[in-house]
Structure 1
Amino acid sequence: MGKVVHVISHTHWDREWYMPYEKHHVRLIALVDELLDVLERDPEFRSFHLDGQTIMLDDYLQVRPERKEELERYIREGRIRIGPWYILQDEFLTSAEANVRNLLVGRQDAKPYGRWTKIGYFPDSFGNIGQAPQLVAQAGMEAAVFGRGVKPTGFNNSVQQSDSYESPYSEMIWESPDGTRVLGILFANWYHNGMEIPVQDEEAARYWKERIAAAEQYASTPHLLLMNGCDHQPVQTDVSEALATARRLYPDTEFVHSNFEDYVRHVQSQLPDTLNVINGELRSLRSDGWYTLVNTASSHVDLKQRNATGQTLLEKVAEPIAAFASMQGEAYPHHLFTYAWKTLMQNHPHDSICCCSVDEVHMEMITRFEKSRQVTEAIIDEHAEKLAARVNTSCFARYEKALPFVAFNTSGWPKQSRITVDLEVERALLSAGKAAELIEKLSSLPLSSGCVVTETGEALEASTEDLGVRFAYKLPNDRFREPYYARIIRVSFMSDPIPALGYCTYAWVPEVKSAETAATSLVTSPHSMENEWLSVRIEDNGTLTLHDKHSQQTYTGLGWFEDTGDNGNEYVYVKPQGEAALTTKRLEMSSCELVEESCGSATFEIVHQWKIPSEANPLLQNEIEAMVPIMERKAKRSHTTVPLIIRTRVTLERGARLLKLSVSFNNKAKDHRLRICFPTSIIADTHYAESVFEIAERNNEPYPEWVNPSYCHHQQTFAGIDSDTAGFMVSSEGLHEYEVLRDGQNTIAVTLLRSVGELGDWGVFPTPDSQCLDWHSATLTIIPYSGRLSRIDAASEAYRQSIPLVVRQTEVHSRELPPTHSWFHWEGEGMLLTTVKASAETGDLVARWFNASRRHTVLAIDSPAPGDGVWYKSNIMEERLQQLDHTAGNPIHIPVRPAEIVTLVYAQPK
């Protein structure tokens, strides 16, 4: 058969980028208005691809509700193609569950229109995750289309010629770590190779000769893809006339105004047997390394931390808490979760969460993060209080004035942790008297010493702080608000292990002393501490020497800081040529003092008083304005300095196999990057990092084509390195960029801050707010372990640490739930739990894991009480696929492939 040119009309719609959202929004309204008019007047205009994201429908109808009927008609007719996503996310900087919610919300939004495009569409993701084939296959898709990852891409997305393509064709087989395969289609000539098609014969002849030849260069079949559009490109209204010209000029070539589903079907029918199989992550590693755009992971770290917090609260706390409450008969607030997720995901488009946009975009992102978080916290508060009210606390009735509280552990593993909770000793309604009188009365209440007791009456060591009288209010569901004052105490103690997916109940009781224990202080000297598993010494330069008693490994020089200049932009880090990095390795710490020692933990604070260059010299601004390529910039750091005071708190807890770090500083410098570094001295050629539904293994040395001195990577929450006998992991929240230094020590360097002053890319866009001149803080966890066979155990610890406990005060009462409880149990070597929630479509309980190992394993799970429901094998779209047989009282055993994503749904009886 002859050549078939598939022209797909589209626009790539960055919701916000080089203009703030509302300015892009105005242009979107004009674009869709024009599209609807074209579809009405031109029956030959067959199809328009609405960029694979349903949020464009919401954004349009927010302003144009009167045109909904037209829009719906053309979608149902297949002339406007929508989905599969809600937004076009950055895959690496959004969590595993956020990637799934993106598909679920996209399908949910498309459902009323009767169509959902089943194509894995990744046109401009800054690299593609390794598990994407498994995700799209589980969503019922057979192909994924993407723009980056397997070819060199240069400035302004220019296509670079190279012999280092992973595939000689634009078509390839893309395989996930679990073995799932889909057809992968690369925009080998980018997604604008068919834009602005000429109508006039002479211009059209030149155009088609060039564009067809370019497409044929990479196509493995006679079906050639030309994308008729680009970033924010208006509809080409005369495309039908332009195609008529093409058909007249090239009678032996078929020109089709096409869509992705038809195009993929035709390509699949003629694929050769010689397609390359590409495995896992697509990160353009066979390139010079300058335009992989990995350094977007460290642009506006503060916003990425807000995102990480929002995701964790939604998917790891609010959804499980609400799911547990629904199992007790409470309504699951699907509508609120959809709103909270949509609001959060509006910050997940690649130009938003990557923070490679103008300052106005980042300012609006803060508002969205806050809105989503506030809704999430309201959900947590309501359902935690409802559950706490159902817990039987009558075991504390024997204590006078007992203050019971329930600690919920929504992680998939038992968790022992230091708990700090504020408790109301007594409250007085504002309606009962004047404020001053109530305050005086509450303030005069005598507070005796006391302790925390368990349900069995065991007394635990606790510290109690009197916080005085505070104003508060209650909002009953059946009457007007109730303002009141309350006397508050703050109680801190080390908990017993709290069951996974469950809770424990405690009470603070006055005039009871904790039992005498033989426990000794963790502090062993003015600069050291030790527990059962670890010993820590703080050296004169502020670095840590850590000894792991289990593996008998000693790590030295941990936690030094590195600061370098940055001549780059929000996309790319560029160290000034010829300049050496500044470090604290030879800088004596200003102070080190014990700031807390109580209740089974100890904390030292280390202070570094450092002076660093205040900014780049004036040449950098001239180079930015002249659009000098970043690799050619000659600017140096200024000789003027500003203070950088770094406070690092180091905490060790009794029984813990990890060390917690909290770093804070006030950034007063511009044009620089700050990292914290951990030399491991572990001999290995590869390292690993948590990615989306996998622990990805990566080479320490780049490919020969790589010339960028920096070799940074993405992580979700942790990265590490191990051998047969030793392992070292660094976990953090919202710090997505790390590098394993090629320094002979396999040092793990985690980026804390990157300050730059321009967006970059195709124009001059100053971004002074991206210098991040403000207070910053970060939390990190050091997890040493005994070698690669224990890697998943360390990952489980990182997951457990990242999920906060939820603690709620309640009353002494007799209720249906026991004082200690877990809603269901699971086991599985190598398995990591990522979600517990309720399905929006069926109401089923949903639980999802992935096999973090590269070995076959078995997942065992029991049924939630009372156990008369049914478990089904499912997929990421939460569909009931296969009923799982089990007998009452016995767990179900499910075989799991290496790296497989496993979703189970539990249908409760009606």
Structure 2
Amino acid sequence: MTVHVVHHTHWDREWYRPMESFRARLAELVERICDQLDAGELGRFHLDGQTITALDALAVRPDLAARVRAHGAAGRLQVGPWHVLADNQLVSGENLIRNLLTARRVAADLGLPLATIGYCPDAFGHPADLPRVLRGFGLDTALVWRGAPPEHARFTWRSPDSSTVTAVNQGYYEPEVLWEAAGAPEKLDAFRAKQAARDADGPYLLLNGGDHLAPRPLPAGLAATEDTLAGYFGRIRDRVGDDAVVTGELRYPGDWLTFVLAGTLSTRLYLKQANAAAETLLEAWAEPLTVRAGRTSSAGLLRHAWNLLLENAPHDSICGCSVDEVHRENEVRFARVTQVGEHLVERALLDLGLDTRLAGDPVTDAAAIVVLNAHAAPSTGPVTVDVHTAPGHTVTALRDAAGAEIPYEVREVESTPLFCADLDILPDTRQTVRHRITAVATDVPAGGWTGWTATVAPGEPPAPPVGVPGRAVTRGDWTLTVADDASFTLVDAASGRTLGGLGRLVDVGDAGDTYTYDPPVTDEVVVPVLRDVRVHHGDVASRLVVRADLDVPTGLSADRTARAAERVVLPLTITATLWGDVPELDWHVEFDNTADDHRIQAHFPTDVAATTWHADTHFSMLERPLKEPLGPLPTERGHEADAGVAPVRSLSVLPGLAVLAPGLPEVQGIRGRRPALAVTILRAVGWLSRPDLRARTAGAGPQLRTPEAQCHRRVSASVGVRLDTDEATLAGAAARRRAPLRAYQLRPGRPTPAPVSGLRVDGALVSAYKPAEDGEGVVLRLVNPTAAPTVARISGVEARWTECDLAEEPTGGTVDPTRIPMAPYATHTLRTT
């Protein structure tokens, strides 16, 4: 059986070296590839699955551009189909779509054709919706590895919406087979025998290359042929058995050295939180407001923001499993995305007549406030706004657009200088008093805003309330009580249910590395001890503010088999809030982490028996089995234990209980007498990879120290708890949790805006509302993430909509906006004509 050889390199843009160090080597690699292609030593070469490799190399070696372009045009050099090889599970569905859209644009700019294979060689598992995303770009194949079912060498992979691709399960790292001509025939025979054990029929694919390696030519006289990935898939496309069908996510336990590396879901969680915030800023705020304002001039800035965000998406970047220098640069990129995104929001609002630049004399009588709703449905929820007044003045009342008083809380007050400058505003600093106030905004119009007025008068601002001692608070039907371990018991008078242990923090040791959680041989479980509770009860909200101590070991023992004898106290502040008109418990914890080698999870148990739990992923709700916290430890070298954790976008559901935790993507559904959802809020480790773990019996990368992965920093985590059971209701609540209402004080002298509505969608969620990539019109993506069919209706905007694919290419005729059938788990992408 002939082996089909694809020469390639797998290029981690940043990993055990920072990006610029890798890029210098990448430029050398691209020159060497061009030389070998010119000389005929290589027939073809796959420059990994990402266009950013070519972009990065040519940015420092523009002299290679013509050669690269010529080899691409001749079919000798393949790139793509992605712009970056992202971790498929830790980024949003829109992030994956923008990744493929960006690759098309970059390839066109470089004059390179894109590969037509869904190449995903080293992602740490694959999401259920990936076939849908690939098919949306005309890609009907996928090369996968980690997490793929080991019993299938190739299979039909089906996503929840029934999209399918032909998938090949193949490790990408095989450089040793053909690294040297001496012994290559024997090594090739051994490779063929290994593949035959998985697939008796063949043909076989040999990916001749690996991480950051230059190619070696094919030794003469071998029973192998140089090929492309597209060529190989063309030969096996019709050779997938009817019984080889896999549905849903690919997180199956692997064979030898085929690790899923689930610990990367929670390594350096601050990166995951920053990514979720940046995605929300662009997807929910910057793009829709740009559309609403008709700001065609913002297209370049939007692309720039997405380019920066995509640079943080690779699996060694967002997963937190690189050297510390890499992740410092990641944080800077996230900050840059935020700067661009907030500027886009400000400029769109300015074009819409909402000037949020606080220039001029501070207010002495009234401040206009705008409350913005990012969702295509009316929204109710808490909102916080800073109102700056002149010194010696204070906020005395808050009123809505109709003049009715709105209950509010003063959370913070401080005297502070306020600086403002812009293209049309001379730089100026004014002394002000900043009043941070919180209120519940009710029924803010879909896709629009409403206006409030803060009455201002001379006087001293009230001191923020300090609360009174107590252990319980009641609001409506819910009574909340804090226990001695700083967890909460919720009693719902309407249903008669009592849920105890909500938010119970559990700290355990972690002898693992950035890839894998590994419990020490002798572990110690630590829970908080209550120190003080203050009750705050007002017209806006009722809350318990808890001070507690978590007395934990400082790290591991010298031999790493147990937790250290020395201890350190982590003072915790835990706030549990019940907001008026919002059927949701808002749980929040903050602390400074000064301990090493430990993991903290927040447990949320239900009072209903269960064997499975559900969670949202990119566009679908998935069902998963409840498991033990950690599967059996492997006894053979080169294997890993089932970590029990799974990736979640923002919503996890047990019967009778839902947990909303955007930015905290690692969740465990734990079986037991009281099934629970455990949300990881911290995992602190000090090594990139170690070879001496019990939960993974081989290294996963270089053995390098990563002291900053211990996360000695401020840790903050927020979770919403609901008792709803309807998937559509919960999906909407999760979307609002990801993108809560925003409020801004408007420029002094500006009038209070009247309520204004915009895009409204009933019967579906909006995943994207953005300018079209080609600059012609607007793209709207609707999602039904539930198992029940529904019918969507678009209103609030005047437009003629036509169906298109994820690549924004037309696929059908005009759509009736008043009736869009949505099958279970369906997406519909529309654009204006």
What is the TM-score with the length of structure 2 in the denominator?
0.91
Counterpart contact for 2:522–2:563, Cα < 8 Å:
no
Counterpart contact for 1:683–1:746, Cα < 8 Å:
yes
Cα 1:488–1:321 change in 2 (3 A) is farther
Q: Does 1:741 align with 2:741?
A: no
Counterpart contact for 1:547–1:553, Cα < 8 Å:
yes
Cα 1:407–1:332 change in 2 (3 A) is farther
Q: Which residue of 1 aligns with 2:162?
A: 179
CA displacement 1:301-332 (0-9 Å, x = unmatched): 12211111111111111111112111xxx335
CA displacement 1:47-91 (0-9 Å, x = unmatched): 111111111122101210122121112112211111111111111
Q: Does 1:605 align with 2:542?
A: no
Of stretches 763-772 and 703-712 in structure 1, the one that deviates more from structure 2 is: 703-712
Q: 1:130 aligns with which of 109, 128, 132?
A: 128
1:767 and 1:525 map into 2 onto residues whose CA distance is 43
Counterpart contact for 1:299–1:754, Cα < 8 Å:
yes
Q: Does 1:545 align with 2:489?
A: yes
Q: Does 1:506 align with 2:442?
A: no
Q: How does 1:347-496 map to 2 (within 5 A)?
A: 347-389=312-354, 401-425=365-389, 443=391, 447=393, 450-463=396-409, 467-468=414-415, 470-477=417-424, 481-485=426-430, 487-490=432-435, 491-496=437-442
Cα 1:58–1:704 change in 2 (3 A) is closer
- Letter in structure 1 aligned against 2:192: I
Q: 1:262 aligns with which of 231, 239, 245?
A: 231
Q: Which residue of 1 aligns with 2:696?
A: none
Pairwise CA distance, 1:702: 7.2
Cα 1:34–1:900 change in 2 (3 A) is same
Q: Which residue of 2 aligns with 1:526?
A: 470
Unpaired segments of 5 or more residues in structure 1? 152-164, 392-398, 426-441, 513-520, 621-634
CA displacement 1:530-560 (0-9 Å, x = unmatched): 3335221223432211123454322012122
Counterpart contact for 2:487–2:504, Cα < 8 Å:
yes
1:266 and 1:784 map into 2 onto residues whose CA distance is 52
Alignment identity in percent? 28
Q: 1:819 aligns with which of 732, 741, 754?
A: 754
2:277 and 2:413 map into 1 onto residues whose CA distance is 29
- Letter in structure 1 aligned against 2:298: P
Q: Which residue of 1 aligns with 2:819?
A: 893
Counterpart contact for 1:533–1:656, Cα < 8 Å:
no
Q: Which residue of 1 aligns with 2:9?
A: 11
1:143 and 1:449 map into 2 onto residues whose CA distance is 61
* Structure 2 residue matching 1:110: 3-state secondary structure: helix
1:463 and 1:581 map into 2 onto residues whose CA distance is 38
Q: How many residues align?
A: 801
* Structure 2 residue matching 1:892: 3-state secondary structure: coil
- Letter in structure 1 aligned against 2:447: L
Q: How does 1:831-910 map to 2 (within 5 A)?
A: 831-862=764-795, 864=797, 867=798, 869-886=799-816, 891-907=817-833
Cα 1:407–1:388 change in 2 (3 A) is farther
Pairwise CA distance, 1:15: 0.9
Q: How does 1:196-235 map to 2 (within 5 A)?
A: 197=178, 200=181, 203-219=183-199, 221-235=201-215
CA displacement 1:358-382 (0-9 Å, x = unmatched): 1111122111111111111111122
Q: Which residue of 1 aligns with 2:603?
A: 677
Q: 1:693 aligns with which of 597, 602, 619?
A: 619
Rg larger for: 1
Q: Does 1:302 align with 2:270?
A: yes
2:584 and 2:556 map into 1 onto residues whose CA distance is 39
* Structure 1 residue matching 2:444: 3-state secondary structure: coil
Q: Which residue of 1 aligns with 2:27?
A: 29
Q: Which residue of 1 aligns with 2:694?
A: none
Q: Which residue of 1 aligns with 2:661?
A: 732
Q: Does 1:109 align with 2:106?
A: yes
Counterpart contact for 2:487–2:505, Cα < 8 Å:
no
Cα 1:550–1:74 change in 2 (3 A) is farther
Pairwise CA distance, 1:566: 0.9
Counterpart contact for 1:847–1:905, Cα < 8 Å:
yes
RMSD: 2.8
- Letter in structure 1 aligned against 2:337: S
Cα 1:177–1:614 change in 2 (3 A) is same
Q: Does 1:614 align with 2:558?
A: no
Of stretches 601-610 and 47-56 in structure 1, the one that deviates more from structure 2 is: 601-610
Q: Which residue of 2 aligns with 1:339?
A: 304
Counterpart contact for 1:359–1:767, Cα < 8 Å:
yes
Q: Which residue of 2 aligns with 1:661?
A: 587
- Letter in structure 1 aligned against 2:391: S
Q: Does 1:293 align with 2:261?
A: yes
Counterpart contact for 1:91–1:99, Cα < 8 Å:
yes
Q: How does 1:555-704 map to 2 (within 5 A)?
A: 555-584=499-528, 587=529, 589-594=530-535, 596-620=536-560, 635-701=561-627
1:605 and 1:455 map into 2 onto residues whose CA distance is 33
Q: Which residue of 2 aligns with 1:805?
A: 741
- Letter in structure 2 aligned against 1:81: Q
Counterpart contact for 2:594–2:713, Cα < 8 Å:
yes
Pairwise CA distance, 1:124: 0.6
2:796 and 2:487 map into 1 onto residues whose CA distance is 48
Counterpart contact for 1:384–1:806, Cα < 8 Å:
no
Q: Which residue of 2 aligns with 1:85?
A: 82
Q: Which residue of 1 aligns with 2:636?
A: none
* Structure 2 residue matching 1:88: 3-state secondary structure: coil
Unpaired segments of 5 or more residues in structure 2? 357-362, 459-464, 634-640, 690-699
Counterpart contact for 2:469–2:534, Cα < 8 Å:
no
* Structure 2 residue matching 1:769: 3-state secondary structure: helix
Cα 1:532–1:845 change in 2 (3 A) is farther
1:762 and 1:511 map into 2 onto residues whose CA distance is 63
Cα 1:24–1:121 change in 2 (3 A) is same
Pairwise CA distance, 1:575: 0.9
Counterpart contact for 1:36–1:71, Cα < 8 Å:
yes
Cα 1:376–1:705 change in 2 (3 A) is closer
Cα 1:287–1:45 change in 2 (3 A) is closer
CA displacement 1:392-448 (0-9 Å, x = unmatched): xxxxxxx994432221111233222233323354xxxxxxxxxxxxxxxx536xx36
1:336 and 1:645 map into 2 onto residues whose CA distance is 42
Pairwise CA distance, 1:804: 3.1
Counterpart contact for 2:670–2:676, Cα < 8 Å:
yes
Counterpart contact for 1:178–1:898, Cα < 8 Å:
yes
Counterpart contact for 1:424–1:486, Cα < 8 Å:
no
2:313 and 2:750 map into 1 onto residues whose CA distance is 45
* Structure 2 residue matching 1:350: 3-state secondary structure: coil
Cα 1:698–1:199 change in 2 (3 A) is closer
Cα 1:453–1:301 change in 2 (3 A) is same
1:533 and 1:266 map into 2 onto residues whose CA distance is 64
Counterpart contact for 2:510–2:599, Cα < 8 Å:
yes
Pairwise CA distance, 1:697: 0.7
* Structure 2 residue matching 1:497: 3-state secondary structure: strand
CA displacement 1:3-33 (0-9 Å, x = unmatched): 3422111001111112222221121111111
1:681 and 1:232 map into 2 onto residues whose CA distance is 51
- Letter in structure 2 aligned against 1:862: S
2:431 and 2:353 map into 1 onto residues whose CA distance is 20
Counterpart contact for 1:505–1:820, Cα < 8 Å:
yes
Cα 1:20–1:390 change in 2 (3 A) is closer
Counterpart contact for 2:475–2:542, Cα < 8 Å:
no
1:271 and 1:579 map into 2 onto residues whose CA distance is 50
Cα 1:139–1:592 change in 2 (3 A) is same
* Structure 1 residue matching 2:316: 3-state secondary structure: helix
Pairwise CA distance, 1:449: 5.5
Cα 1:129–1:73 change in 2 (3 A) is same
Cα 1:706–1:899 change in 2 (3 A) is farther
Q: Which residue of 1 aligns with 2:647?
A: 714
Counterpart contact for 1:679–1:748, Cα < 8 Å:
yes
Pairwise CA distance, 1:863: 5.8
2:79 and 2:522 map into 1 onto residues whose CA distance is 50
Pairwise CA distance, 1:528: 2.1
